[in-house]
Structure 1
Amino acid sequence: MTNNSLMLSLLIGLLPLTHIAHAKPYQPALHQPVKLNSLAQQKQYIRQIYAEVNNNLGSYQLTNIDNHGHSTEGGVIKFYTDQNQIRLIEEIYYGETGKYSLQYYFANNDLYFVFEQTVRYNAPISFDTPSLGMEAFDIKKSKIAENRYYFYNGSMIQWLDEDKQSVSPNNSRYINKQNQLLRAVENALRQR
């Protein structure tokens, strides 16, 4: 286990639960800790985790924390837990001209996948009629950018950018993004 995954595991295990809500019955996990050598095997495993988490969202315990200090229109951090283990953290930040969200997927207290989405509105949400040479706000005219980050053994193994192109791990942006995401998930965990 790397230092990053050890730190995340410790942070997850030590944080207390607050507000809890239940929905449908729990379905058991389909995975056990596995050593996979190829990128293709690792990504297939991560996709299984992603599907499992999304299929079981209704059975997880949900904790919502308001996070207003980080954006103009407010924000929320949602923690989805299964038997006191984090499965998903979702950060959503609202602004006058867009919305930003991060979803962190976990299995066995290890981070495996991050989905990042930036929505840029065509105009500020307060522009309900054309004004100052700008068109009125129309959610259908928003531009959406998505990035996908795959993690295995505490390190990012692949980054697919908004064009779904793989960013080279030798690129300094890649290392900086990995470190930024690991810090961001640690900060989210501290909010819990």
Structure 2
Amino acid sequence: MKQTFYILTFLLLTSCGQSKSNQTSTTVSDTIVATNNVVRTDTVGLKETFNEEDLPVNEFLTIRLKPIRANFKRINSITNWTSIDTKELSESTEGGEAKFYYQKGQLKKIVTRHYGETFQLLTEYYLLNGQLSFVFEKRHKYNRPLYYDTTAMKENNDTEAFNIDKSEIIEDRSYFENGKLLHQINNQDCGSPFADEYLLEEQKRIITYFDKLIGQKKKK
């Protein structure tokens, strides 16, 4: 799949049971934009993980996942980074950025943000012993595009305008061991393990983009 369409694939997941949109906190920017006498929010920010544990939802691979989860907790609790480098990204319609977090000269974490008219994607990559260990993807899927105000709603005979409270949070947690995707959890899939074939596709997708980020950083 072409990398330019990589983000859009995230938005095709289906829901299992009730919506899980309230599981991740969001903050709305204080900045607002007035367009055609309509005031709307310009950006919606997903929070980076801080000082949080990754609690298992079932007993699957608990022992093998334990060091991955411990590393996730340790890194996301760091408050004083030696350095943080920022790079602009241009793969989505509204742009984005990547932040590279270093501790004593070693890369420990990468956080990327991609902004679109209908979504925002926050991805956190955690390294363990120099290898990719854990990836936390948080996708904020808007109910309507950001610019879709009440006027647009009426013009299109629609029943909804953009409303952040009606948006949806989709989360994927991917666990890597020695360069291989060991396990993945989605907050809408009821907790069942994914098929090996699917995990191989996800492994390729995630590692391909992770390697691209590392390559872009080295070119700087």
Common topology (TM > 0.5): yes
Pair 1:190 & 2:215 matched:
yes
Length-normalised TM-score, structure 2: 0.64
The structure 1 segments of at least 4 consecutive aligned residues displaced by more than 4 Å after TM superposition are none
CA distance in 2, matches of 1:146, 1:57: 24
How far apart are residue 169 of structure 1 and its match? 4.6
Give the Cα separation in 1 of the matches to 2:213 and 2:179. Answer: 17
**Residue 162 of structure 1: CA displacement?**
3.0
Aligned to 2:157: 133
Q: CA offsets per residue over residues 35-94 of structure 1, 9 Å max, x none?
A: xxx9322211111111111110443421110112x0100110111111221111111100
Higher relative helix content: 1
Query: Which ranges in structure 2 are unaligned for 5 or more consecutive residues?
Result: 1-59
Aligned counterparts, 1:7-156, within 5 A: 39-68=61-90, 70-131=91-152, 132-134=156-158, 135-156=160-181
In the alignment, which residue of structure 2 is the partner of 1:35?
none
Q: Give the structure 2 partner of residue 177 of structure 1.
A: 202
Residue 156 of structure 1 contacts residue 178 of structure 1 at CA under 8 Å; is this kept in 2? yes
The answer to whether the 8 A contact 2:81-2:102 is kept is no
Work out the number of aligned pairs and report it: 153
User: SS in structure 1 opposite 2:112?
Assistant: strand
- Name the CA distance, whole Å, in 1 between partners of 2:165 and 2:183: 31
SS in 1 for 2:126: strand
Identity fraction in percent: 31
SS of structure 2 residue aligned to 1:41:
helix
TM-score by length of 1: 0.73
